[in-house]
Amino acid sequence: MKLTPLAMAVLELLMEKPMHPYEMAQVLRARHIETRANVKPGSLYHAVERLETHGHIEVVDTQREGRRPERTVYGVTEAGRDAFLERAKAMLGSVEQEHPEYASGLAGMNELDREDALAELRTRALTLSAAAAADEVIMESLRAKPLPSIYWLDKRFIADRRAFELAWTNQLIEDITTGRVDWVPAETKDEA
């Protein structure tokens, strides 16, 4: 089983301490794991189920608080720890081919009307700007904590990557607006 980013996040949590899925969800949210793993409703429970099926985690306790349903607490197994470490090494050392949608959008941009393309790029820049501002708030809160920076390198990478994309997109908007990027009108493309 190839460990997904969400499975890695679950194992990472369980290497800290045993938890039940609801607690995992709360910690994942508090740590903004959605910036590096696709966390959708139900996906966490599916990841936990797959990890248990493959022997990476196991039930270590069941808890009941008052009239609430019983909660199953999971812990990482030795096989899970080994799989986590191997996958972490592979993720750090290899360069996987990613297929970002933005690159495909840029490739198709020449078929759009110039003003439509600029409007979409400005929307993207505005969205990136808001996300970059949120990144900065998160980074400031992390810097203020007595937490070694190695524990939030993922957040720094994502924030820096988003800042780069924002700067690049703003430069592209300027380049199109000033004519540094040639725009071929749709009606003249057939003639070219």
pLDDT band at 34 (very low <50, low <70, confident <90, very high): confident
In the predicted structure, residue 132 carries a pLDDT above the cut 70: yes
How much is the mean pLDDT over the chain?
A: 91
Q: Which residues of 47-82 are buried (b: 16+ CB within 10 A; e: fewer)?
A: bbebbbeeebbeeeeeeeeeeeeeeebbebbeebee
What angle do helix axes 153-178 and 114-144 make, rounded to 10 degrees? 150
Alpha carbon distance 1, 55 (integer Å): 10
Q: Per residue in 15-32, pLDDT tens?
A: 999 999 999 999 998 888
Name the DSSP class of 1. Answer: -
Higher per-residue pLDDT: 110 or 50? 50
Pairing of strands 57-63, 71-76: antiparallel
Name the DSSP class of 19. Answer: B
Domain 5-93 has CATH 1.10.10.10: yes
pLDDT band at 60 (very low <50, low <70, confident <90, very high): very high
Higher per-residue pLDDT: 71 or 185? 71
Cβ contacts of 77 within 8 Å, gap of 6 or more:
55, 56, 57, 58
In the predicted structure, residue 116 carries a pLDDT above the cut 60: yes
Of the candidates 74, 71, 30, the one whose C-alpha atom is nearest the C-alpha of residue 51 is 74
Residue ranges with strand state E in the chain: 57-63, 71-76
In the predicted structure, residue 70 carries a pLDDT above the cut 90: no
Q: Residue 18, Cα to own-chain centre: how many angstroms?
A: 24
Name the DSSP class of 37. Answer: S
| Domain-wise residue ranges, the chain | 5-93, 101-189
Q: Residue 72, Cα to own-chain centre: how many angstroms?
A: 27
Percent of the chain with pLDDT over 90: 72
pLDDT band at 99 (very low <50, low <70, confident <90, very high): confident
Alpha carbon distance 83, 78 (integer Å): 9
Inter-residue contact 11 to 83 (CB < 8 Å): yes
